[in-house]
Structure 1
Amino acid sequence: MFHAPHGYQRAPLPPGRESEPVPTTQQARTPVRDTPGEKSTPKSTRRDAYFDNAKYLAIVLVAVAHAWEPVMDGSRASRALYLLVYTFHMPAFILISGYFSRSYTGRPDQLRRLLTAIAVPYIVFEVVYSLFRRWAQHAPEQPISLLDPFYLTWFLAALFIWRLTTPLWRLIRWPLPVALAIASLAAMTPNIGADLNLQRVLQFLPFFVLGLLLKPEHFQLVRRREVRLLALPLFAGAGLFAYWAAPRMNFSWLYRSSSAQELGVPWWTGIAMTLAFFGCAVLLTAGFLAWVPRRSTWFTVLGAGTICGYLLHGLLIKAADYGHVFETYTWLSDPGGEILLTFVAAAVVTLLCTPPVRRAMRWVTEPEMAWAFRRDTTELGPRR
């Protein structure tokens, strides 16, 4: 039976506006260049089709990988594809999220957006997922804890923490080496605990910090033709290595939710795996971004609704899990069944990203909540 993750155990890794989560429902705006000593340019309100395309394609990979998880164990090829996708899809989301957080300074308007776009969806869906589990498993005694993110909600909790620390990373001299050191220390520190999924928050931190360090020219670089061509042998080689590693690797390394000691290996392995996975994830993310279309496409508009696709598709995965769908229909583990699941997952998450769904979910994914904030505090940020 497919057991979905809970707490600090293995969890799916999911889905930019400068002060929103990557799976955002607002416009993705080109961030302000606010490097010290550099003159800031005016913010653009025009959507960037490239980042919308990247978000949509990444959320499709997230949904497809979640659909593979309960049926992949009998197929080495499926496990290899799962390993390949999971190596980079969440790092790509976090990196882009960090990129669009570069201008976050803690202004009142930014703090308000942090609460309404991240904290509120986290609280609502943490409760929804927990109540759904209670109802489906007939277990009313199961607790609801806002400190123990359940299933997909861990990403919102992590992003809330990462964004609050943005001014600190812009202050220190060597932010990326420091973030990698923190991630390595976390990977060799057992029993960190489940509160806010801190183990995962710390181990994924370097990707957010790397995003903070990127500039528009870096994304222009990966979109060059020669980089696109280099991405082909990169993914081919990564696929072959994943096929070799699939039956040998403990996939718990992918989820960043455990220390080396908890996985039964020496402490120093945590450092080695942190650095190795970081390097692989950065390369594969660059290869993925190199092939993201730069022009507007039929799915560009769906990039604005990826937070809906991210949060809602998890309910369907959990419903299939609680309903023992993957156990009942064992043919889903066959190649034909896995292909069918791939198309179904892609189609469903596409539907969940459409504008009608986004409008229907706006009350929770992008609430105004003007009643909850002081008027003078709310208006202070834009005046600055």
Structure 2
Amino acid sequence: MKLAASRRVAGLAVISAVALTLAACGGSEADENGGGSEATEEGAALSGTLPGAGASSQENAVNSWLAGFTEQHPDVQASYDPVGSGTGREQFISGATLWGGTDAAFDEEELAQGAERCYGGEVVELPLYISPIAVAYNLPGLGVENLNLQPETLAGIFNGDITTWNDPAIAEANPDVELPDTDIVPVNRSDDSGTTENFTEYLAAAAGDAWPHEASETWPISGTQSGAQTSGVVSTLEAAEGTIAYLDASQVPDGFGTVAVGVGEEFVPFSPEAAAAVVDASPAAEDATDLRLTIDLARDTEESGTYPIVLVSYTMACSVYESEQDAENVKALLSYIASEEGQERAADPSVAGSAPISDDLRTEVEAAIEQISVA
């Protein structure tokens, strides 16, 4: 991944020094709720509450991370409400949560609001969940695991221009498949969603005039079949034959087919490796900093072996917290998520099948985490 060189200035010596610091916590919001810290020889024993909320796409991964984190820090009551990216950012900005997940980077207005919420600090955005967005369809008995679809064909389907499964555009890319004369029923998210923003961003970049809409967290077409959060999309997808939907690959129902998308001269099915490949081929976003490690994904790439409908879900936090307890708890959780153990837990196919971050990115993430401090 071609991330900004300025991010690499933080040294690992600082990380080691801070990790060994004794941080007895007093007077925090968690203390008022009955939490407290008990110093040990190894450092500060963590305790208190650690509420989070956000993207439903990474729910399975977050659940596995919280399980591993709780094994290490049983006195911290960490939680995550998968309310969706948009609502998750709203709750974080309002101060209702201490951390969260978002499938879309903060915009300029949200960053300004975040600075106020973060006691004069900044919003921290760390790309800790990398996963393909699958396009799944409900066509029992089709006899193939993947249907080949060009970007323009996908755009035509979700824009309502291609309405039956045996349409010539689909048949041309799948000459050996007997396609049914079944109506296509596109399914989208009904709530504001980073998954929707990532999917529409791909269509806008790769499908040309076939997708006449801008990228948006809100689905741009009215009167469609939809579902709230990822669970609602899955329920709608399962409800009738002929449906097709975009959703995090980890939550595709068993037995459903998925799309291999046209990339250059080939069709590429989703996989963690293909998702990681497109992230590695993508530059840092123009406004990325050493605290906001945001990425400008190469949606229209033609590089072999890449799957461009990928979701990079950011873990959001503050660079400054009101209490030492909150700051230390957040740092510990983010450090666990970024660790090799944490990333491998989410990469387990039975959990989320995500792509683990690279060692170089982990170094940058750790440097950002160590900048989290107390007001």
TM-score by length of 2: 0.24
Return the structure number with greater strand share.
Answer: 2
Return the structure number with greater helix share.
Answer: 1
TM-score by length of 1: 0.24
